[in-house]
A and B are shown apart, each in its own frame.
Chain A
């Protein structure tokens, strides 16, 4: 079975400092992995996705994530946090058929001025 674990339910960083949101996955095949962002009372927006091409994936708004098969991790990073980055972030893995998407429980990011 496939699943994702977001290791931190809440992360606080100061504006201008690096962001690290951690995600570990479990899968018996080579999955597709995604990070989504959700601002309050909004739908989810795709930040980036990994689909077995380059292991370092660059997304929107300066975010990137590195797929590490040996560690079964797909952590999201950003060199310098901006106030507008404050939101809920979800790590997602697909099923082996690709038709279903399994979400982590989310990480709430707070950016302190």
Chain B
């Protein structure tokens, strides 16, 4: 069966520091991968999605970036965090054009 992992589960970072969140999927190949952000009390905002290695589509211009160095690995990064980057970050995968399956999320607090 397929599983999706995210780490870390929680993170507290100072403003201006770098960020790296990792997401990996097991038990499938060539999945579509997604990064979402959920601000407190808000819906989900799609940040990036990828249909293959090295293929990244950005939905919202901001100081975040994403990379997919391996088929089942998706990384969300920032060179300098802003206060507004605080939120709950969710990674998801989909077997092509079908249901998305979500990871457990990373709670990021920028102070």
The residues of A that contact B2 with a CB separation of less than 8 Å are none
Count the B residues whose beta carbon is within 8 Å of the partner chain — how many? 24
Contact between B102 and A45, CB atoms less than 8 A apart: yes
A46 at the interface (CB under 8 A from B): yes
Taking CB as reference atom, which chain B residue is nearest A9? B41
Flag if A41 contacts B97 (CB, 8 Å): no
Contact B105–A41 (Cβ < 8 Å): yes
* B102-A44 in contact (CB<8A): yes
Residue of B nearest to A48 (CB): B99
A44 touches B90 (CB 8 A): yes
A34 CA to B101 CA, complexed, in Å: 12
Q: How far is the CA of A102 from the CA of B36 in the complex (A)?
A: 11
A13–B102 CA distance with the chains assembled, in angstroms: 27
- B104 near A98 with CB under 8 A, answer no
Q: What is the CB-to-nearest-CB distance from B88 to chain A, in angstroms, rounded to a whole number?
A: 7
Find out whether the CB atom of B105 lies under 8 angstroms from the CB atom of A42: yes
- Among B13-21, B44-52, B62-70, B78-86, the stretch that binds chain A is B44-52
For residue B9, give the distance in angstroms from its CB to the closest CB of chain A.
Answer: 9
- Least Cβ distance of A103 to chain B in Å? 4
Chain B proximity mask over A69-106: 1 for CB below 8 Å, otherwise 0: 00000000000000000000010101001111111111
Q: Across the interface, do B99 and A100 meet the contact criterion of CB distance under 8 Å?
A: no
30 A–B pairs (Cβ distance < 8 Å), ordered by A: A32-B97, A34-B99, A34-B100, A36-B102, A41-B88, A42-B104, A42-B105, A43-B90, A43-B103, A43-B104, A44-B100, A45-B102, A46-B100, A49-B99, A90-B43, A94-B97, A98-B98, A99-B32, A99-B49, A99-B94, A99-B97, A100-B49, A101-B46, A101-B94, A103-B36, A103-B43, A103-B44, A103-B46, A105-B42, A106-B42
